[in-house]
Amino acid sequence: MKIAFVGKGGSGKTTLSSLFIRHLATTGRPVVAVDADINQHLGAALGLDEAEAAALPAMGERLKLIKEYLRGDNPRIASAETMIKTTPPGDGSRLLRVREDNPVYDACARPVELDGDTVRLMVTGPFTDADLGVACYHSKTGAVELCLNHLVDGRDEYVVVDMTAGSDSFASGMFTRFDITFLVAEPTRKGVSVYRQYKEYAQDYGVVLKVVGNKVQGQDDLDFLRAEVGDDLLVTVGHSDWVRAMEKGRPPRFALLEDTNRRALRLLHTAVDATYDLRDWQRYTHQMVHFHLKNAQAWANERTGADLAAQVDPGFVLGESLVASA
C-alpha cells in the first residue's frame, strides 16, 4: 500500500508521517519510508542524529543506477539516458517489490531501527548550493516517481512518502501514485487552503484524499475544520508531550505515545487498508502513461533527442499478477 503525506510547510506532515511509520513498524509488516520533501527532516523525525541523517545516500545522486536496473532488457528503452521520471515499465522491465532485496535498495535504502522494529528509509537528498539557479527540486523527486512507477506492492506492505510541501506535489504525476493521500491541515485559513487546492487538482484522477487535522486545541478548532473540509476530515491530533520530547532528540519508547494519538494512528491504518479493494491497476497504468506522454511532448523528446512515446508498451498493465507469474 502506498501512502502520501502532504500539507503546507509547517503543518506537521513530517512529524505525522514519522509517527505513522513507527506505528506500522510495530505491526511487523514491511515498511519503506521515503523522504521526498525539499526539507529533508524525516530521518531526524525517525530518530537519526544529524550525522546519521547527512550520511543517508541520496536517490537523486544514484539516478543512473536506478534507471539501469529498472529498464532491464525492455526493448522499448534504448538506454538509461532516454529514461525520464515518468518512463513506464513494460515487457522486460525490472519491477520493485517491498519485501525483496535488490540493487536499488542496496544503493539507496538504509535500515532504521525503531524500538526493536526496522524500516527501510530512502531519501531524495537535499537541495544544495550547487543546485541553486540551475536545477529544479523535482529533478530529485523524479527518482522517487520512477521507483513508484515500477513498484508492485501488495496488501500488508507499506510505502510511506513524505511529500514536498504545498502544491509543489503537482509538478509531476507523482500525486497519482498513492492508494491514499493524507493531507495534514492546521485549523487556519492557510491550513485549509492547501486542502482546497489539492482537492481541486486531484478530483479528476481518482485520488483518495483524507484530512488529518493537526494542532487542534479545542472544539472551536474541530468545528472549523469540519466546516471547511466536511467528510474528508478523518481524524484530528492535538498536543503531544511524546512528540515534544522527540523533537528535542529524546524520544521515549513509542509504546508511551498518548492513547489518543495511538488511536488516531490506528484510524489512519484502517483507512489505508480499506483502499486495497479500490485498487485499479488498469487506471494506475493509464495515468502513468498519460503523464509520460505529456512530459515527452512538453520537453523530454527535445532534451533526449528521442520519441519517448515509443517507450509505452500498449499491452502492459502493472499489477500484482506480475509478481505471481514471476
- Mean pLDDT of the 199-223 span: 93
Lowest mean pLDDT among 96-100, 127-131, 312-316: 127-131
Q: Using only C-alpha atoms, what is the Rg of the chain?
A: 19
* Percentage of residues in the chain having pLDDT higher than 90: 78
**Per-residue confidence (pLDDT) for residue 134, from 0 to 100:** 36
Q: Is residue 220 scored above 90 in pLDDT?
A: yes
Query: Where on the phi/psi map is residue 47: left (φ > 0), alpha (ψ -120 to 50), or beta?
Result: left
Q: β-strands 117-123, 31-35: how paired?
A: parallel
Lookup result for grid cell 492508494: 179
pLDDT band at 165 (very low <50, low <70, confident <90, very high): confident
- Mean pLDDT of the 23-27 span: 96
* DSSP run (H or E) holding 152: strand 151-152
What is d(CA 163, CA 178) in angstroms, rounded to the nearest whole number? 11
Lowest mean pLDDT among 79-83, 165-169, 256-260, 285-289: 165-169
Concatenated DSSP letters for 171-230?
A: GSGGGGS-SEEEEEE-SSHHHHHHHHHHHHHHGGGT--EEEEEES--SHHHHHHHHHHHG
Lowest mean pLDDT among 111-115, 131-135, 266-270: 131-135
**Per-residue confidence (pLDDT) for residue 38, from 0 to 100:** 84
- Mean pLDDT of the 116-133 span: 75
Predicted TM-score (pTM) above 0.85:
yes
- Topology (CATH) of 2-323: Rossmann fold (3.40.50)
Amino acid identity, position 321:
S
Q: Is residue 92 scored above 90 in pLDDT?
A: yes
For the chain, the domains span 2-323
What is d(CA 88, CA 260) in angstroms, rounded to the nearest whole number? 42
> pLDDT digit string (tens) for 243-278?
999 888 888 899 999 999 999 999 999 999 999 999
Q: Of the candidates 134, 28, 148, which has an alpha carbon nearest to the alpha carbon of residue 89?
A: 148
- Mean pLDDT of the 58-87 span: 96
